[in-house]
Amino acid sequence: MSAAAKRKPAAMRSAAKKDVVFGLGKTGLSVARYLARNDVDAIYIDSRDEPPGIEELHEICPDAELHTGNVSKELLKGAARVIASPGIADSDPLIMAARKVGVDVVSDIELFVDEAEAPIIAVTGSNGKSTVTTLLTLMCDASGKKSLAGANLGEPALDLLVEDTPDFYVLELSSFQLQRTRHLPAAVSVLLNISPDHLDWHEDEAEYRAAKYQIFQQAEAIVFNRGEDDVKAQLPDNVPALSFGLDAPGHDEYGLVSDAGDVFLARGENMLLAASDLALVGTHNQTNSLAALAAGQLMGLEMSAMLQMLHEFPGLPHRMQKVGESRGIRYINDSKATNVGAATAAVDSVQGMVVLIVGGQGKGADFDRLAKSTCGHIRVAILIGEDAPNLEAAFADLAPTERAADMYTAVRKASEMAETGDTVLLAPACASFDQYPNYMARGDDFAGAVEALAL
């Protein structure tokens, strides 16, 4: 597979205009490091009056021109382009003003592909992309290949460029990054699934889907979920593609087959690994495993090494993570299930009845869909966070609900209402920012509350 195509490097850009870096978060600071390495001057802006990262910016660029708070649109007159952090929506007034005057708005990924000298494996999806990205890096290691993973997961993509060149870059890409990336010559592009998400950022579901489909453009090979509606229609012509799904696979497809009462991950007619031998929990992780195998095949990884990783890798923290068990009741932390699709998949993957802890900031989510999809599997829904009233309305007449003011109260109520064989599942279907700094803190709080039960 060829390395990423090269374009005009940043250091060769005209000095007449300056890049404008919008946002001083993790991504923005990685852009600052990248531009400093290339001796490129830039203007840095942030809509917050006192954003974190100012001290680090001045360590990177002591003479950096920084504007914070209510930034004047006049700065755009001398802009070569705006490099925007993923969290800044296209509806931001400054982004809209830039586009109005013809200034290009790009992601850090655009800069990354300018200099990447190894094949890029691009992974996206509403759910499961961190797990698949991590699986692929472990599979590379087991196959004797060096990989570096980053972008939406772990290290910002641009920071990977200071490391020795690997055999592969494995990038987890969000819809935010993809929408602003027009040049993505990925050796393998992986689209896991699409369910409505981030509708507080995107104009509508159609725009969100279009952003995800950007991952196919310029791909040398594609891995896709054949169970997803409309995806086949988005595949470019004459590009090799492998599909995966939870049904029986056709020739050179990945899927599940049943034999003598057992379920196996399979490629075509070849059974590869019993589903019961996966270290990962849940049906949706069978899907993630199949996607990783398909991508690994296209990358030329060793099948035996990939299967060994599936047998050993227990999953990432806060993703279907078992944190306790007592009286025949399991406690599962899936705090990373920050949208309806992820929460639905989590509930569906659990055997037996579920006491669901759900809620937070819904980001415009369709809670009716969550309630209708899961009600037959839920004993009771314990509602937390600012969207608890909307969730209560969605579950009305479908499943019993209880309100809880905090996580410890929610876990205590869940424990009292669960029966032997049930699973208490934290799958919030919401962002955490109403009560926590991030989903990790929420998951840790859940685990602490379970431990406090003195199981």
What confidence score (pLDDT) does residue 5 get?
39
What confidence score (pLDDT) does residue 8 get?
42
The answer as to whether 1 is a domain residue is: no
Token pair belonging to 218: 């310029």
Q: Are residues 349 and 436 in the same domain?
A: yes
**Any catalytic annotation for residue 129?**
yes
H or E stretch including 292?
helix 283-299
Which one of 18, 145, 152, 333 is the catalytic residue? 152
Q: Are residues 297 and 328 in the same domain?
A: no
State the CATH number of the domain containing residue 51.
Answer: 3.40.50.720
Q: Are residues 298 and 347 in the same domain?
A: no
Q: Are residues 180 and 87 in the same domain?
A: no
The answer as to whether 9 is a domain residue is: no
Which one of 198, 212, 284, 413 is the catalytic residue? 198
**Any catalytic annotation for residue 152?**
yes
What gap in Å lies between CA 45 and CA 49, rounded to an integer?
10
- Laid out side by side, the sheet with 222-225 consists of 147-151, 168-172, 120-124, 188-191, 222-225, 241-244, 254-259, 262-267, 270-274
What confidence score (pLDDT) does residue 206 get?
84
What confidence score (pLDDT) does residue 2 get?
40
Q: Are residues 355 and 264 in the same domain?
A: no
What gap in Å lies between CA 399 and CA 382, rounded to an integer?
11
Contact 380/400 with Cβ under 8 angstroms? Answer: yes
What confidence score (pLDDT) does residue 190 get?
98
The answer as to whether 5 is a domain residue is: no
Which one of 129, 284, 318, 336 is the catalytic residue? 129
| Ordered per-residue pLDDT tens for the chain, 455 residues | 444 334 444 444 444 689 999 999 999 999 999 999 999 999 999 999 999 899 999 999 999 999 999 999 998 988 999 999 988 988 899 999 999 999 999 999 999 999 999 999 999 998 899 999 999 999 999 999 999 999 988 899 999 999 999 999 999 999 889 998 989 999 999 999 987 655 565 567 888 888 899 999 999 999 999 999 889 999 999 999 999 999 999 999 999 999 988 999 999 999 999 999 998 888 889 999 999 999 999 999 999 999 999 999 988 888 888 899 999 999 999 999 998 988 998 999 898 999 999 999 998 889 999 999 999 999 999 999 999 999 999 999 999 999 999 999 999 999 999 999 999 999 999 999 999 999 999 999 999 999 999 76
- Laid out side by side, the sheet with 378-384 consists of 321-326, 329-333, 423-426, 354-359, 378-384, 401-403
Q: Are residues 100 and 153 in the same domain?
A: no
The answer as to whether 67 is a domain residue is: yes
Q: What is the chain's Cα-based Rg?
A: 23
Long-range contacts from 46-53, C-beta under 8 angstroms, 24+ separation: 46/22, 46/71, 47/71, 47/92, 47/94, 51/24, 51/25, 52/24, 52/25, 53/24, 53/25, 53/28, 53/29
For the chain, how many structural domains are there in total?
3
| Residue position matching structure tokens 């998400």 | 197
Contact 29/57 with Cβ under 8 angstroms? Answer: yes
Q: Are residues 26 and 67 in the same domain?
A: yes
Q: Are residues 267 and 329 in the same domain?
A: no
Q: Are residues 144 and 277 in the same domain?
A: yes
Residues in the chain: 455
State the CATH number of the domain containing residue 163.
Answer: 3.40.1190.10
Domain closes at, from 39, 71, 106 = 106
Q: Are residues 213 and 277 in the same domain?
A: yes
Q: Are residues 266 and 343 in the same domain?
A: no
What confidence score (pLDDT) does residue 77 get?
87
Give 238's contacts (C-beta < 8 A, 6+ positions apart): none
**What is the residue range of 144's domain?**
112-312
**Any catalytic annotation for residue 377?**
no
Domain closes at, from 91, 106, 121 = 106
State the CATH number of the domain containing residue 383.
Answer: 3.90.190.20
The answer as to whether 77 is a domain residue is: yes
Beta pairing partners, 270: 267
Domain closes at, from 72, 106, 140 = 106
The answer as to whether 11 is a domain residue is: no
Q: Are residues 385 and 338 in the same domain?
A: yes
What confidence score (pLDDT) does residue 196 get?
61
